[in-house]
Each structure stands twice: as structure tokens, then as C-alpha cells.
Amino acid sequence: MSLPRRYLLRTFGLTVIGTQLLPIAQTNRTPKNIIKPRRLQVGDTVALINPAAFNYKKEVEPFFQVLENLGLKVKLGEHFYDRYGYLAGQDTARAADVNAAFADSSVQAIFTGMGGWGCNRILPLLDYNMLRNNPKIIMGFSDITALLLAIHAQTNMITFHGPLGVSSWSPFTINYVKQVLFDGASVTMENTRSVKIETIGSGKARGKLLGGNLSVLAAMIGSAYLPEWEKSILFVEEVGEEVYRIDRMLTQLKLAGILDKISGFVFGQCTKCDAEKPQESLTLAQVLSDHIRPLRIPAWYGSMVGHIQDKFTLPIGLEVEIDADSGTIRLLESAVN
């Protein structure tokens, strides 16, 4: 995700809210059984870490009240307020906070403060064996996509594409966080009436839900940190990218063989993705039609996923059913134990 977009996070209602030696990642995908983390309960402690870009204290401080209202206590990562250029500290420090949060028995879940850029840099520094043995909820979106996909790919743990600490924790957003992370409900994600969907390919499909930010996902292609895509449901979202760049990234997914393997496709919101010269550009609808319609799979555009105020909490790695005509994502089981 390009650096300027960390500042866009501050403009779309998203402002509400000692370094150790680290192991080289083991990238063998041995686990096959899905690992579900323990559900959240009132009184739990959540670790708040910054594995990507830095944020200012004033941006994240309102989130502490959100956590208190949810009945949660917060434990800041040791390097949470570090800064190294546009990053929240050196790679080793940011990775240390991820590893430490999973290893800490007093922490029941892990939330992330900021997106931006930086998670790809720390993927080789995470102790995936330790993470697998200490499953916990970890949630975020935007650049955190890299962390969520890598942890799932390496451990088969369910991870969660949901709000950041600096997100606008609206009642809609909080409701889905509660249903998915606290209640363990097999909830159906459905847009509000004011947010319309556009069907690309009609029908229903079932599969493992995978995805996140499109540019982050595209940047991971060729690495050992992506999951298997066979018969999966791919969801993507984007911010601050012109239509031709969306075209380029979807083409990259096509050339990598990913699009040919999926059973269903959901494009969330593309915030600030208008072309500078609309008269010389394809529309986003045309690009999505060019890439997705030939796949002959259920697909739609406009789900409430992305750099927007109201957003779903999506479990990465969980079996779901999508309905491209109604624009719904139905969890087929609880995402937490």
C-alpha cells in the first residue's frame, strides 16, 4: 500500500478512533486443520500493536474509550509509539511486538493501531510455530492484510479483517465486532439499504474466505506467505488507486493463476479511486466485468468492506456462503471457540 494512503485514513471518518532476537520464519505449510482463537469476553485484555506505519497519540487515544466501553482492558506493545521514518519503529521492533503479544498469556486478543505500509517487511521475522501454539484473535485491515494472510497461510489460524484502532468505531462496525468476536455468531453480513451492490455474476457460492487490500495482496504474490486459493471466496478492497491501477493488480492476480481458482468474488469499496481523466479511462465496472465475468462465478461489487466508516468483521480462513444477487456473506460456523 503506497505511503500517501496512510494520510487518507485520517480523512474518511477513520480518526476515531526491548527489541529481541527474532527467528527466521518457517514457511512449510504443514497444518491442515483450521485453528479458531478463543472468543472475546468482558474483562479480557487486548494487546494494541503497530506492525506497519506509525500513528500520532491523538489519533489512537479515542480508541481506548471504545475498548473500555466493550469491557476490555488494553496493553500497549512495547514499541507501539516508536517511529522510524514512516514506520512504527524498526522491523525487528515491530515484529517483536507481534511475537510478544501472541506469547503473552495475559493477552486474549490482538488489535492493530494503523495500516499504511510495513507488514510485508516483518513477515520473515515472525515465529509461526509459537503463533500456532498460542492462537489468538488478531484484527486489522489495509496493510494489516499481509499479516492476516501470512499468519493464516503459515498456521491455518482464523484471522480477522476488521477495524483498526484509528478507524471510526461506528455502531454498525461495533455490532459486527461483537457478533463475530464476542458472540461467535454465524452472522450474515448485509449492507445497509443506503449502500447498493452491483451484481457481476449471479448465484451463490461456498468456500474459504480469503482476501483484504488489493495492492497489499498483489505485492505478496510469489512469496510463501499467501494461502492456497482453490475453491476460495476472494474479497478485496482499495483506496486511493486509479482505475487503471485496479486493472493492473487484477491482471496480476489473473496471471498468477489466483482468479482461475476461486469460487466466488466480492469487491468491497474503492474509496477515492476516481480516474483523473474519466473521459480517457475505463470505469471500475468495466474493469471488474472484463476480469471477473469470464470466470462465470458468483460475484458482486459494493460490499461494506474497506476504507469506509461502517465495515464488516470478516474471518479470514472460515467457510462462508455468498449470494451475489443479495450481496450477502454468510458465515457457515462460528469463527471463534
**Domain residue ranges in the chain:** 5-182, 188-331
Q: How far is the C-alpha of 196 from the C-alpha of 55, rounded, in Å?
A: 32
Tell me the average pLDDT across 313-334.
Answer: 98
Q: What is the DSSP letter of 209?
A: E
Catalytic residue ranges? 142, 237, 307
Q: Do domains 5-182 and 188-331 have the same CATH topology?
A: no
Check pLDDT > 60 for residue 76.
Answer: yes
Q: pTM of the full predicted structure?
A: 0.91
User: Which homologous superfamily is 5-182 in?
Assistant: Murein tetrapeptidase LD-carboxypeptidase, N-terminal domain (3.40.50.10740)
pLDDT band at 14; cut points 50, 70, 90: very low
Q: Give the pLDDT confidence score for residue 277 in this predicted structure.
A: 87
Q: What's the whole-number mean pLDDT along residues 140-151?
A: 98
What number of helices (H) and strands (E) belong to the chain? 10, 14
Query: pLDDT tier at 22 (50, 70, 90 boundaries)?
Result: very low
Between CA 317 and CA 261 the distance in angstroms is 15
Q: For 157-185, what is the mean pLDDT?
A: 97
Task: State which fold the 188-331 domain adopts.
Answer: Glucose Oxidase; domain 1 (3.50.30)
**Residue type (1 letter), 171:** P
Q: Check if the beta carbon of residue 234 is closer than 8 Å to that of residue 301.
A: no
Q: What are phi and psi of 184, to 5 degrees?
A: 65, 35
Question: In this predicted model, what pLDDT tens digit does every residue of 180-225 receive, in sequence order?
Answer: 999 999 999 999 999 999 999 999 999 999 999 999 999 999 999 9
Question: How confident is residue 6, by pLDDT bands cut at 50, 70 and 90?
Answer: very low
Per-residue pLDDT for 275 more than 90?
no
Does pLDDT of 118 surpass 90? yes
Q: How far apart are CA 242 and CA 270, in angstroms?
A: 9
Instruction: Say how far apart CA 206 and CA 78 lie, in whole Å.
Output: 41
For the chain, the straight-line distance linking the first and the last C-alpha, in angstroms and rounded, comes to 32
